[in-house]
Amino acid sequence: MPTYIERREKTDTALLETLVESLGVLLDLRLFNTLETMLTDEVTVDYTSLFGGEPHTASPKDVIYRWKESLCGFDATRHKLENIRVELKGQEATVKADATAIYFLHEHIWEGKGKYVFGCRFTAEGWKVRSLQFDFKSEKGTRDILEQAWALAEKKGKCDMSK
């Protein structure tokens, strides 16, 4: 019979795997209000390997707004994680996963692959994401559709673009 600590680690691992897998599903379904509840009060986001710039720390509302800007112009998106690995350290955890994002706009498809590192913290409401870093590896298709979709985000009306 497993010890309490072993059961707790297995439970926390399952909760963390579900947390990070849910981020992509909620983004794809445009369920931003639910997504916001899965983030800590401040979130550090690092997409520099894909877009350049610097990592930034923001409120969940600001992170969600940026995701709306970048995703709501697409006809559809599909985010998926594989090979999820969890490292628990008390009330902190690091979750690493191979990632694929596929974006659809009209007849165009863009696919990006890389690795995510999520920093997570256990809070009074359960596990939440406090940081995410994407390490971009490869792509298929043209990035032109990213800018086209960003320009369409407000026009398509698929998302409430208010903060």
> What domains are defined for the chain?
4-156 (3.10.450.50)
Residue range 1-33, pLDDT digits in tens = 878 778 889 999 999 999 999 999 999 999 999
Structure pTM?
0.92
Q: Which helix (H) or strand (E) holds 88?
A: strand 76-89
Measured CA distances, 96 to 15, 27, 38, 76, 150 (Å): 14, 19, 17, 25, 28
Q: Give per-residue burial for 129-159: e unless 16+ CB within 10 Å, then b.
A: bbbbbbebeeeebeeebbeebeebbeeeebb
Residue range 34-91, pLDDT digits in tens = 999 999 999 999 999 988 999 999 999 999 999 998 899 999 999 999 999 999 999 9
Residue range 111-137, pLDDT digits in tens = 999 999 999 999 999 999 999 999 999
Per DSSP bridges, beta strands 39-46 and 126-140 are parallel
Measured CA to CA, the distance from residue 108 to residue 161 in angstroms comes to 24
